Amino acid sequence: MKPVYFKDWITDWHWGVRIALFLLLLSSLSQLGMFVLTQNYMVGYLGAQPEDISFAVMSTYAGIITVIPLQFRFFRYFQARGYLLVNLMLAIMLNALCIHCKDIHLFLVIRFFQGILTGNVLVFTLLLIFTRVPAERVKTIAPAVFYGTILSNTVLIGLVAGLVVESADWKVSYYYLIMFQLVMLVIVLLMLKRSSGHKPYPLYQIDWSGMVIFACTALALAYTILYGSKYYWFADRRICYSMLVAAIGACMFLYRQRMVKRSVLHLKVFRSRSFMVGICLLAVYYGSKDSVNLIYNYAGGVLKWSTLEVIELGLCNLVGMVGLLVISIRLLLANKVKFKVLFAIGFGLMGAVNLWMCFFLTQDLSFAELFVPVFMQGAASGVLFVPLMIYVLSSVSADTGASGLIIAACTRFTATLNSFAGFYNLQLYFNQKFKEGFLGYLTPENQNMMARLNFYQGLYASKGFTADQSSALANSAIWQNVTQQAQLLTNRAVFMFFGLILICIALLIILVPAVSKTYTWAKRSFAASL
Whole-angstrom distance, CA of residue 417 vs CA of residue 222: 7
Contact between 111 and 102 under an 8 Å Cβ cutoff? The reply is no
CATH, range 1-203: 1.20.1250.20
pLDDT at 150: 63
H helix or E strand, kind and range, residue 449: helix 447-462
143-166: average pLDDT:
60
Contacts of 170 (CB under 8 A, 6+ apart): 38, 41, 42, 45, 164
What are the extents of the domains in the chain?
1-203, 207-261, 266-520
pLDDT at 529: 60
463-484: average pLDDT:
72
Query: Is the pLDDT reported for residue 89 higher than 80?
Result: yes
Contact between 415 and 283 under an 8 Å Cβ cutoff? The reply is yes
Query: Is the pLDDT reported for residue 527 higher than 70?
Result: no
Which residue from 347, 349, 372, 350 is spatially nearest to 360, judged by alpha carbons? 372
Query: Is the pLDDT reported for residue 71 higher than 60?
Result: yes
468-482: average pLDDT:
73
Q: What angle do CA 406, 391, 518 make, to 5 degrees?
A: 135
365-371: average pLDDT:
81
H helix or E strand, kind and range, residue 448: helix 447-462
Whole-angstrom distance, CA of residue 426 vs CA of residue 433: 11
pLDDT at 227: 82
Which residue from 260, 264, 268 is spatially nearest to 214, judged by alpha carbons? 264
50-63: average pLDDT:
80
Distance of CA 438 to the CA centre of its chain: 35
Contact between 271 and 252 under an 8 Å Cβ cutoff? The reply is no
465-482: average pLDDT:
72
pLDDT at 35: 60
What are the CA-CA distances from residue 109 to residues 121, 166, 425 (Å)?
19, 28, 26
DSSP 287-332: HHHTTHHHHHHHHHHTS---HHHHHHHHHHHHHHHHHHHHHHHHHH
Q: Is 266-520 the same fold as 1-203?
A: yes
Whole-angstrom distance, CA of residue 67 vs CA of residue 212: 10
Query: Is the pLDDT reported for residue 445 higher than 70?
Result: no
Of the chain, the percentage scoring pLDDT greater than 70 comes to: 81
Contact between 406 and 68 under an 8 Å Cβ cutoff? The reply is yes
Question: Which ranges in 47-170 belong to alpha helices (H)?
Answer: 50-75, 80-100, 104-132, 138-167
Query: Is the pLDDT reported for residue 284 higher than 70?
Result: yes
What pTM value is reported for the model? 0.78
CATH-assigned architecture of domain 266-520: Up-down Bundle (1.20)
Query: Is the pLDDT reported for residue 38 higher than 60?
Result: no
Q: Which residue has the higher pLDDT, 107 or 186?
A: 186
88-95: average pLDDT:
88
- Mean pLDDT (the chain) is 77
pLDDT at 6: 79
Whole-angstrom distance, CA of residue 357 vs CA of residue 392: 30
Whole-angstrom distance, CA of residue 155 vs CA of residue 258: 41
Query: Is the pLDDT reported for residue 317 higher than 70?
Result: yes
Lowest mean pLDDT among 310-324, 339-353, 460-474: 460-474
Burial class (CB in 10 A: 0-12, 13-18, 19+), 387: buried
Question: Using 50, 70 and 90 to split pLDDT, how confident is the model at 441?
Answer: low
Whole-angstrom distance, CA of residue 17 vs CA of residue 137: 17
Which residue from 99, 128, 126 is spatially nearest to 114, judged by alpha carbons? 99
Whole-angstrom distance, CA of residue 73 vs CA of residue 104: 34
Contact between 373 and 311 under an 8 Å Cβ cutoff? The reply is no
Residue 506, strand partner residues = none
pLDDT digits (tens, 9 = 90+) for 147-156: 666 656 565 6
Which residue from 301, 379, 91 is spatially nearest to 83, judged by alpha carbons? 91
H helix or E strand, kind and range, residue 348: helix 339-360
Q: Which residue has the higher pLDDT, 290 or 529?
A: 290
Question: Using 50, 70 and 90 to split pLDDT, how confident is the model at 277?
Answer: confident
pLDDT at 131: 77
460-484: average pLDDT:
72
Query: Is the pLDDT reported for residue 290 higher than 80?
Result: no
Q: For the stretch 459-494, what's the b/e string if a residue is b when 16 or more beta carbons lie within 10 angstroms of its beta carbon?
A: ebbeeebeeeebbebbeebbeeebeeebbbbbbbbb
pLDDT at 161: 59
Which residue from 34, 83, 80 is spatially nearest to 57, judged by alpha carbons? 34
pLDDT at 207: 74
Query: Is the pLDDT reported for residue 1 higher than 70?
Result: no
pLDDT at 139: 60
H helix or E strand, kind and range, residue 487: helix 467-529
Helix and strand totals (H; E) in the chain: 17, 0
pLDDT digits (tens, 9 = 90+) for 174-218: 787 888 888 888 888 888 888 877 777 777 777 778 788 888 888
Lowest mean pLDDT among 83-97, 139-153, 436-450: 139-153
